[in-house]
Structure 1
Amino acid sequence: MNNINLIHKRNCLIVKLLWCSLALGIAVDIANKIPKSTIIALIVAGTGICLLSTYLTATKKLILATMYIITLATGFFSYIIISASTGKTSFVNVLIVYYSLALTSLYNYYKPLILSFIMGICMINFSFFQFRNVMYNGITTKTLISLNLYFILIGGIIIAHSIIGQKLNEDLEKKRKESENSQSRLQGVLDDIKITVKSLNDFNKTFNDNINR
């Protein structure tokens, strides 16, 4: 299986998870009694992104680009959930950035992971300064530093793992092609041997016929 087909299969999987993420985001907003305007905005924008991703995946158009579109979509969902945070328990909503990173890690490609990581680290810091009174009420800047360090640590491990995994896949693909080339060359040698044997048999038959005359 080549890389494009593999990415397409992962696109299909993650698109399904995107729809689940949208449903989760809507459920969280409803549970937190978020204003209807925010919920409607999430439904409209989220459905649009999911439909676009579904269309691109179903038609197999822009397979590589779809991978990045989906990665950006996970960042969008993270922003919506974080920006809709209310109440004392809203601090846990920042954990959505870890979910986005984990979702993107299913690709096992480091480039979209780096994009997701950058969005996640920006989202953590943005939410702290933008929604500090809501999400981080009573939490000091030291906690923000810890959040950043933990995210960098986890993100770094996942990205490193994806780099190793991607390199391993490339090595396996290279060996597969080398094996196919070797089999092709071997088949060529066998075909040459068959032709040579046939020629020898024909020569031997002709030679015997000439002797018997």
Structure 2
Amino acid sequence: VLAFWATFLGATAIWAPSLLSHTSGAFDPPRGTAAASANAELLAAFPSRRVTFVVLLQTTDGSGTILTDPATRAVSLTLRDAARNHSLTHAVAGYYPLLALGMAPAFLGRFVSNRSSATLLEVVADAFVTTVDAADYGKWLQPLVANACRRAPSLRCSVLGSPLIISEAEESAMGDLERMDAIVLPIAFCVLALLLSSWRLVLVPA
């Protein structure tokens, strides 16, 4: 009995997540579904619509200023240069990248927090928010930011963006499917066996 359930749970843990790719909740929904039609209409109406990722850089203690911090400047320019090498990158804007282009600090206030303890970079990609390209770009950007900030222990870095939220929701749904198979299905078989007065369902479900 234990061997059967161990095999059953192992098999479902492997194959259950693949069920999600056959629903309309995936990035590329099946043709003919409402999700596919909605995506097609959005792309037709806004063919040049781009997705923006926000990279937040802030001092670890919240008391320092990023306006004169060499680590913040180095990380900002490193991320700018690395992002420009990606084929989908449309633009990178931020306090230090624009300052390097000659823009006056007085015009860069929207990139700096009120206490000057944090700044942000806006990384714009040529991809629609619900496409695979947007999701892949976000997953490419996250380790890039993590590696750059690893060299600056005085900074805490975060990456924000709608494609990342969608990807996290998809991964959470996969985890829920795995937990459902591991916990709910055996309980369901036991309840069914009790109702039918046939414990053979528990031993070898048909």
**Shorter-chain TM-score category?**
0.3 to 0.5
Larger radius of gyration: 1
Q: Which has the higher helix share?
A: 1
Q: Which has the higher strand share?
A: 2
TM-score (norm 1): 0.32
TM-score (norm 2): 0.33
Greater relative contact order structure (CA < 8 Å, 6+ sep): 2
